[in-house]
Amino acid sequence: MSETATFAGGCFWCTEAVFLRLKGVESVTPGYTGGALPDPTYEQVCSGRTGHAEAVQIVFDPEVISFEQLLDVFFELHDPTTLNRQGADAGTQYRSAVFYHDEAQKETVERVKAAVDASGHYRDKVVTEIAPLTEFYAAEAYHQDFYERNQTYPYCRVVIDPKIQKLYKSFSEITA
């Protein structure tokens, strides 16, 4: 039986492209969550005034890949120590966050976040928000499968390609 995870780690084009390459991931949907505005548009979220973050909703088979393994990839492939920024993308819509679906996910992400902090892997403290998922809104169609359809786009080559290369190097045992 499938489970669902919802992560915000900067641009959803990046996070979608990374998580689609993991064994056991059945689907990844870019969208918006964490704010109060119902059914937001990309332009509204980009304003930084909706409270929503660009996020991905991941449907996965826990018999193939665990929620904790997804978190390991999440914490490695973006900078969880920068508040409201990933690279050149700045604003609350690019914050680092895990939106948990149940108490088990909440406990796991709290434990993993504390372990990442204690590991010394990052020089600065992890600022990833941990919050319950309230509502997830799928992004517009042109954001879905963006990397797969636009691999020659400069942003994809400069920002996403290095993340995918790091994924294969760091997590070869769980990549498809």
- Collapsing DSSP to helix, strand or coil, 38 comes out as coil
Distance from the Cα of residue 95 to its chain's centroid: 10
Cα distance between residue 93 and residue 55, in whole Å: 9
The catalytic site residues sit at 11
Distance CA 170, CA 77 (A): 9
Report yes or no: 62 and 102 within 8 Å, Cβ to Cβ.
no
Buried b (16+ CB within 10 A) or exposed e, 103-138: eebeebbeebbeebbeeeeeeeebbbbebebeebbe
